[in-house]
Amino acid sequence: MQIIRSIRSMQAAARKIAGSGKTIGLVPTMGYLHRGHQSLIVRAAKLADVVIASVFVNPSQFGPGEDFKTYPRDEKGDIARIAEALGKKKARTAIVFAPKAIDIYPDDFETWVTVEKLSQTLEGKARPGHFRGVTTIVAKLFNITRPDVVVFGLKDYQQAMVLSRMTRDLGYPIKFVIAPTVREKDGLAMSSRNAYLDDLGRWEATCLYYSLRTAREMVRSGVADTRVLLREMKAVIKATCPSANVDYIAFTDFKTLKPVKTVTTGTICSLAVRVHGVRLIDNLKLA
């Protein structure tokens, strides 16, 4: 496995791979990899000849007072998990791209990529400027690594929708793949931020999935009014984690992110909840 830190070196490697007729699968990450990330890497390996996994904690997607400085980091562990995911044979055709922030964002940096409407709701509303940072870094990674395929996880549903639109609107010749959310046995969506939780917080964090599962079961039993679902989801969250603080619970169309009052085919429920001070997000398609 090759570790590349220089942008120019990564560009040169990508050109060489493309010139040899091989395809590139990119998995952008902020590091501190878990089995969810590994599943994306495995998916990319099935779709491309060479896998590039980026490891970069992107400062521009963190707002004031957020956890950029304390975000968990473990580059050595990340490299080991990437190799584990790919296996010995595939690991020889893998690249870890781990650039420095000063190289990605030099002091005179002033160009940003913005997806207008899709980035203004849910996470975009709760975290102003967040998606501008996400779309800009991913556009830069596309330009640097020249992927044929890119794989993102459904756990960050709105992010996937925003980046899919950016890929289409800017004309990138990239196959955009969204892979299923990987969960713990108790349903908790895997996230690097789960590492912040103590034992009690870890158990109570299941309130997100319990509430989503409750909503889906209610829909399957015939309830379609999102107001009814919302009330029950909040009750489930409070019953599981009395100290939980709900940022939002939203019912939207899967593709457009437009809010809906009645659940129909294609409705997804997304939520953000603070559990013991840790902000977690999750989602589930209801119909």
From first to last of its 287 residues, what are the pLDDT tens digits of the chain?
Answer: 899 999 999 999 999 999 999 999 999 999 999 999 999 999 999 999 999 999 999 999 999 999 999 999 999 999 999 999 998 555 457 999 999 999 999 999 999 999 999 999 999 999 999 999 999 999 999 999 999 999 999 999 999 999 999 999 999 999 999 999 999 999 999 999 999 999 999 999 999 999 999 999 999 999 999 999 999 999 999 999 999 999 999 999 998 999 999 999 999 999 999 999 999 999 999 99
For the four alpha carbons of 52, 134, 123 and 77, in that order, the dihedral sign comes to positive
Cα-based distances in Å from 50 to 43, 96, 172, 251: 12, 11, 19, 38
What pLDDT shows up at residue 91?
A: 47
Question: Three-class SS of residue 102?
Answer: helix
**Which residue in 34, 37, 130, 276 is the catalytic one?**
37
As a residue count, the chain comes to 287
Active site residue 34: no
- Residue 123's CB: how many other CB atoms inside 10 A? 21
Q: What global pTM score does this model have?
A: 0.96
Structural domain spans, the chain? 2-179, 192-285
Same fold for the pair 2-179 and 192-285: no
What pLDDT shows up at residue 88?
A: 58
The domain 2-179 is placed in CATH, from the list 3.30.160.20, 3.40.50.11900, 3.40.228.10, 3.40.50.620, at 3.40.50.620
What pLDDT shows up at residue 171?
A: 98
Q: pLDDT tens-digit profile of 145-203?
A: 999 999 999 999 999 999 999 999 999 999 999 999 999 999 999 999 999 999 999 99
Maximum pairwise Cα distance, the chain = 58
Q: Which residues pair with 97 in a beta bridge?
A: 4, 54
d(CA 165, CA 118): 8
The CATH number assigned to the domain with range 192-285 reads 3.30.1300.10
d(CA 122, CA 58): 20
DSSP code of residue 176: E
- Mean pLDDT taken over the chain: 96
Return the C-alpha torsion angle 78, 164, 159, 148, nearest 10. Answer: 0
